[in-house]
Chains A and B, each alone.
Chain A
């Protein structure tokens, strides 16, 4: 056997393109200035990848359409807002609580609760997993489209509470600062590595975001190929058949909601810290749909597809629309033909358009999951099967 063939047959060979891509992305900040705009776009994109991968577990794997995913982003971000700022200013007699944070934070922010980033992430994971299961619980008996509406309603209720949180006062503390954001949030603070200042250097934020993506990707692949992941897919294809083959419906669905939700919490906590503020006004229904478009664009249930979909749409949001379409020659061209608008105003319309276009023309997404392709081309599984057995 030649050397080349040996390489091609190696167990890790299919992973080569992914490994090369990850290394290339990891090296990217070294070639850019420390406060590079593109770098911040990539950080934002990586955070969206984490959330989209979480939504993909619920919608893509388990086939439960969740239209209220923004709630978990809100929980994660609020966790950062509560436990890494002066928000609870009178706690511990005005002395504050500091766990695992640097001396700088202790002296600069004596009041409030200040907890190390890792602990916040762990806290956000626990809270969102619980919230995911609690929101999932009432949907268990419902049909697919009703699930979508109930999750949407929950998402809206939670975002209402966040947005009006300044009037919800519990023991002297507001739930959130509503339209005034909770700010400043402590900088990213990791044990053994130290504290990073996003005002001077974005590189460590970049690597942290990348590390989060890698962890989430690893979890995604392992869970998908596990017994649980196969149960999700069986559930998606045919709930009745799955149940009769011994898949425990309640537990399987609830774990899908819970695990999917945790990723939203992780990304939310990270974004809260990265943006240095938590503005409750940003937790809008539009974010849920933005994330759903990423999943649909990439391909429902396809992990790499979702990574690509999320990256693409995030760049459309942070780069293509503000820096290309709404600036310079393209915008001049638009106003010359009498179209006097910016794409920034209508960006959610653009994402809606992508949703419709993809569902009608290429429902399997840009990089389809192999199983899904078989379903769509050969009519295996899906709703038709149910209809036929009923008739």
Chain B
């Protein structure tokens, strides 16, 4: 009974937010194009949050740790991408072919940087605490997050840094009844879908993916079956980091600015997404990411972006308190 109420209550709460503004628009004679634009921008933003949320959910699924530093791994991915622009000589005048090839190289490299950074964090800050009380690695995670933020400050300074708009992100590609779809929207979706597909295929079909699922269910039993638990956990962090790196590049192209603090906000938004979908659940993380993207976009556009964190946090608190297993349900040890 409670399960039913909380699930549909949450859905109602989520739908209510865009619906209210749609009604206000229609009542005010504005038509549906504004809310439509909000939805499009929200979905493409949500694709970025989904990629980050997958990293949270993968790690939580396997070692039940909120990898608080994950947002900063994403931020470092953005920074790496921007730094590579000038290394590869990508500028506003680069031709289309050079741009596509160059950005592919940037994508691969920033994914690798974020991925190996995430593996390194696990090795240094979480593995030594594997047997310790559960809150110990969470505290080091917070510490690592602050260290990385300050690495960001040393790298590009403490204010927002505008970066070249390589793909002319806001240029309209097509327009459906007043709803504009820009290049950045398409890019976000085009990069995200194959990555999510590859990830789910890896987790569901490959040998290592099977090892990951086994470790998530019961690390002791997995070890007894000959699975190298340490390697499996490292692979999980690697995957999460790779996706965060990709999100970093998309964010840099989309927002055309980078900031040391972007990871903190993004991290909490993405964590909310992961919890919303049901932490430990890959499909849930993607769904949660898209939903929270819409909410964040509408809040930015209608309420004002200085209030967006408060709106997202309010949803986070409501979900954690009344529906901690999320929309789809968690696939963690304790639920199983």
Contact = CB atoms under 8 A, between A and B. Distances in A.
A148 interface: yes
Nearest to B312: A153
Given A345-B154, A356-B125, A160 B146 contact: no
B316 interface: yes
A138 B320 CA distance: 9
A238 to B, nearest CB: 11
A156 B309 contact: yes
Interface string B176-195: 00000000000000000000
Interface in B284-328: 306-307, 309-310, 313-314, 316-317, 320-321, 324
Given A348-B146, A360-B128, 9 more contacts: A141-B324, A149-B316, A160-B310, A341-B154, A349-B150, A349-B153, A356-B124, A360-B140, A391-B220
Contacts of A164: 306-307
9 contacts: A65-B138, A141-B324, A149-B316, A150-B316, A157-B310, A349-B150, A349-B151, A355-B146, A356-B125
Interface string A329-358: 000000000000100011011111111100
Contacts of B128: 360
A161 interface: yes
Contact of B125 (A149, A153, A154, A360): A360
Interface stretch (B36-44, B87-95, B129-137, B231-239): B129-137
A160 B307 contact: yes
A149 B133 contact: no
Contacts of B66: 145, 148-149
A286 B142 CA distance: 10
Contacts of B137: 359
Contact of A141 (B132, B314, B321): B321
Q: How large is the interface on A (under 10, 10 to 19, 20 to 34, 35 or more residues)?
A: 35 or more
B117 interface: no
B139 A65 contact: yes
B158 A345 contact: yes
B142 A292 contact: yes
Interface of B: 64-66, 124-125, 128-129, 131-140, 142-147, 149-151, 153-154, 158, 220, 264, 268, 271, 306-307, 309-310, 313-314, 316-317, 320-321, 324, 334
A348 B321 contact: no
Contact of B321 (A150, A352, A384): A150
Contacts of B131: 384
Given A351-B146, A360-B128, A146 B324 contact: yes
A142 B307 CA distance: 26
Interface centre among B133, B138, B153, B154 (most CB of A within 10 A): B133
A67 interface: yes
B332 to A, nearest CB: 10
A289 interface: yes
B125 A348 contact: no
The 7 A-B residue pairs whose C-beta atoms are closest, nearest first, are A349-B150, A352-B146, A355-B143, A346-B150, A356-B143, A153-B313, A160-B310
A351 B334 CA distance: 33
Given A345-B153, A355-B143, A382 B133 contact: yes
Contacts of B140: 355-356, 359-360
A296 interface: yes
Contact of B317 (A138, A354, A382): A138
A143 B321 CA distance: 11
Given A65-B138, A289-B142, A348 B313 contact: no
A33 interface: no
B143 A354 contact: yes
B262 to A, nearest CB: 14
Contacts of A382: 133
Nearest to B310: A160
Interface in A137-187: 138-139, 141-146, 148-150, 152-154, 156-157, 160-161, 163-164
B217 to A, nearest CB: 14
A204 interface: no
A352 B145 contact: yes
Contacts of B147: 349, 352-353, 356
A65 to B, nearest CB: 5
A315 interface: no
A364 to B, nearest CB: 11
Contact of B142 (A139, A153, A163, A355): A355
A285 interface: yes
Contact of B271 (A149, A289, A352): A149
A289 B146 contact: yes
Contacts of A351: 143, 146
A63 B307 CA distance: 31
Contact of A161 (B133, B135, B310): B310
A142 B320 contact: yes
B134 A383 contact: yes
B193 to A, nearest CB: 29
